[in-house]
Structure 1
Amino acid sequence: MAGQFTRKKLGPVLIAADQRLTGRAVLGATIGNILEFYDFGTYSFFAIQIGQAFFPASDPFASLMMSLATFGAGFVTRPIGAIVLGSYSDRVGRQPAMTTSFAMMSTAILVLAVTPSYETIGIAAPLLVIFARLVQGFALGGEVGPTTAYLMEAAPAEARGLAVSFQPASQQIAATAGALIGEILALTMTSEALHAYGWRIALLLGAATLPFGLWLRTTLPETLHRPKAPAPVVRPVRRSLAARRLISLGFVVLASCTIITYVTGYMTTYALNTLQVSAPLAFATTLVTNTVGIAAALLGGWLADRAGRRYIMIWPQITALLMTYPVFLWIVESRSAIALLGGLGALTLIGTIPYSAFYVSMAEGLPKSIRGGAFATIYAFAIAIFGGTAQPVVAWLIHVTGNTLAPAWYMLVASAAGLCAMLMMPETAPPKTSKRCE
């Protein structure tokens, strides 16, 4: 039966034939992503305070820019971590790779949280912070590939879509949690306390997951060497060409997804600086889109298990493509709460669904021997190239053209490119699932 396998000893862990993916396994696989995006949101929220602590300058803007540049330094080492830890997961196992990544990530956040300020230890302070960001970037680079591979391999065939959808959903959960904690600290602490140590509290809350996360990951069953049903005989050359083609298409889809995600994350700043709406409405926009994104990611995985991968990738992507310009036009012309919250909420709901289906399709389509490393590498390069530039590009386009609809045009180009790649991707769902979309 699909999704079942015989009981066999795999290292110290016994895998049962009727095992189903449990909440503990999902949390263990995605806790690294939760920590990653929690840290992302927290660092962004307190970028000014972190800049003043480690990069003092006579010009506040220069201090902020040095802080943001340090945050961006982590993007440089992501591809390196993807190659090293991703290939490690394919050679040794998903579980040790995930454990190593999480340990490095948590330690880096802890170093950042407890490093004394520039006034206390001088130049050593920014050097330690930069080192921590480089280590964290390395760890994050090797996080997504092995965990996506693990979720797909650990789940029964009929529930792979939902299992893998916890990968993108966990990112939205963490971003929401980071924003909420930052808001709570800002409301409950004085400005002086917030600048002095409030941001450290927020980071330490993330680092506090280290013991729990390590325990979860070290006790997860391994999936790399799990027995599987015999596959059809395919010539090595044909298999290699198919894998290269899928990797190329996957990179385009991930680049599209990254641009859309980061442009959506820019909406608070866009609402404040460009549309000149009130601060509560601007911050509510991020909260709504994050919350809707959680539900949409899980819905996309659930639908992919029932209607097939390509169907759920293509049709919602077409719908989101057609919705983007009208939604932004409505927002720009009305600048109302219903347009910002309702319009962006609906666009996020429809636009997030196809990428959950893509995640599981990509994981299923890649050969098991390169699944973790290949997924990690293309994800890391897509994030490094397009994630680190998306928001500056949008800000630059608005400034140069004077067109408040610039984010819509950038998202349209990204969505169209993603759709073209999705149309060329094969269906990877098990036969029983594929029949439901015929």
Structure 2
Amino acid sequence: MNATTSASLAASRPNSWRVVVAASIGNALEWFDLVVYGFFAVLIARLFFPTGNDTVSLLLTLGTFGVSFFMRPLGAIVIGAYADRAGRKAALTLSILLMMSGTLIIAILPTYQTIGLAAPLILVAARLMQGFSAGGEFGSATAFLAEHEPGRRGFFASWQVASQGLTTLLAAGFGVVLTGKLSAGQMAAWGWRVPFFFGLLIGPVAWYIRTRLDETPEFLAAETTTTPLRDTLASQKLRLLIAMGVVVLGTVSTYLVLFMPTYGIKQLGLAPSVAFAAIALTGLIQMVFAPLVGHLSDRHGRTRIMLTSAVLLFVLIYPAFVYLVAHPSFGTLIVVQIVLGFLMTGYFGALPGLLSEIFPVQTRTTGMSLSYNIAVTIFGGFGPFIITWLIGATGSKVAPSFYMMFAAVLSLIALIAARRKLGFS
């Protein structure tokens, strides 16, 4: 890059913290709408899938949660390629409009008791719309954050993870307040809709902020391609495979956290407010700790930090669940969530920075969106469903740890490949 281009980039670079705040608010809202559905899965199961069997109803609800993830690779292709052609800002604005539409449908949708079979069918349609939107969100938001300060790519990209922690904290906060203050009848009648309406209130603000953002200097300085998807699939297959592999542990750990309120209520017999309070702590850890991890990854290398976290997760997750099942209390759940929160964030906090460096600017959003969403669809979206099935099939309440250990092995292999094949430290 010559001196003229460097000066142009410096002149066009907007205030970095304004970028972080704007991108994080919109990203947090996107994920809030998705997370709330998972947190209230037990109640939604009874309202929209009343089979007469609680386990079957829950599996149907979690299956619906997973079905939306089939749309994520499509969203990654369409919105990711759009971001590489038209810019990160345009893609971010489109994704939030789609997410708000899906959320509106869920917020006002009558239950099975009112409109019968149409209720779960419309619910699935709304979830598919949200899945399509989320498919383009991660790549667009991560590229947007990473490209404003390439010298501190890990730190700025980590705010994508921090904003998801804010999402978990907000959603869990709603869970604590609503389940603690409202009766079961009130929750079923209208209480579960409150978080979705909250998302709708914040949505227009987030959309307005995103429309006022400047495009990233790195994207403006690069030569764009009209065929980002074809270019990615033609010449970057190894990068796609490695990127998918490193995402596996990040997504499994994230959706295990998402599943923990359901696990605490159904498997450990804990009060809903207790389960949500423990999850809120995990969200707080992720929100505060992720930027520190991103900063450290800029100084000491991303794969080094991620390898350490992955090994610790593999070693500690089984004894953590054994301890939790043997002593199912609020205090025990808090301890396990603290350990899981720090180790998960230690891995996930460095992940966006690594992904943004695996792919070149011209195909960055397409590559990140595809690799992230394919991995999330296969291993994360159906994670709660797989975990519930594993518990039933094995008869063991520690079965969630088996899935986490499997994910850790896959990601460890991918991280080693990233170091040996792509030269990352």
**Please, what TM-score do these two structures have when normalized by structure 1?**
0.83
Unaligned runs of 5+ in 2: 224-231
With 316-325 and 211-220 compared, the bigger mean Cα shift is at: 316-325
Mapped partners of 2:121, 2:261: distance in 1: 31
Aligned to 2:25: 31
Matched-pair contact (CA < 8 Å) for 1:75–1:137: yes
Helix, strand or coil at the partner of 2:284? helix
**Structure 1 18/214 Cα, relative in aligned 2: closer, same or farther at 3 Å?**
closer
Deviations 1:253-297 (A, max 9, x none): 112221222223333343444445565554433222222222332
- CA-atom RMSD in angstroms: 3.4
Matched residue, 1:199: 192
Give the TM-score normalised by structure 2: 0.85
Q: Secondary structure at the match of 2:339?
A: helix
1:130 is matched with: 124
- Pairing 1:51-90 to 2, within 5 Å after superposition: 54=48, 66-90=60-84
Aligned residue identity for 1:202:
P
User: How far, CA to CA, are the matches of 1:278 and 1:204 in structure 2?
Assistant: 25
- Change in Cα spacing, 1:312 to 1:241, as seen in structure 2 (3 Å) is farther
1:262 aligned residue: 255
Aligned residues: 416
Corresponding residue for residue 85 of structure 2: 91
Match of 1:5, as an amino acid? S
- List aligned pairs for 1:38-437, cutoff 5 A: 38-47=32-41, 49-50=43-44, 54=48, 66-117=60-111, 124-154=118-148, 156-223=149-216, 225-227=219-221, 243-276=236-269, 281-335=274-328, 337-426=330-419
2:83, 2:365 within 8 Å by CA — same for their partners in 1?
yes
Q: CA offsets, 1:277-324, max 9 Å, x none?
A: 565554433222222222332221121122122222222333333333
In the TM superposition, what is the alpha-carbon distance from 1:249 to its structure 2 partner? 1.0
Q: Which has the higher helix share?
A: 2
CA distance in 1, matches of 2:270, 2:329: 8
Contact 1:146-1:372 at 8 Å conserved across structures: yes
Taking a change above 3 Å as real, the CA distance of residues 277 and 25 of structure 1, as seen in their structure-2 partners, is same
Cα distance change of structure 1 residues 187 and 20 upon mapping to structure 2, 3 Å threshold? same
Q: 1:122 to 1:401 in 2, by over 3 A?
A: closer
Instruction: Work out the percentage of aligned pairs sharing the same amino acid.
Output: 34
Q: Which runs of 5+ in 1 are unaligned?
A: 9-14, 230-238
Superposed CA offset, 1:21-60 (max 9, x none) = 12x3223323343123322332234445545555566666
Whichever of the two has the greater Rg, that structure is 1
Is 1:327–1:339's contact at 8 Å kept on the other side of the alignment? no
Q: Are the aligned partners of 1:361 and 1:428 in contact in 2 as well (CA < 8 Å)?
A: no
Q: After the TM superposition, which of the residue ranges 356-365 and 263-272 deviates more from structure 2?
A: 263-272
Q: Deviations over 1:125-176 (max 9, x none)?
A: 444433222212111111111111111111x233221111111221121122
Counterpart position of 1:12: none
- Contact 2:65 2:381 (8 Å CA) reproduced: no
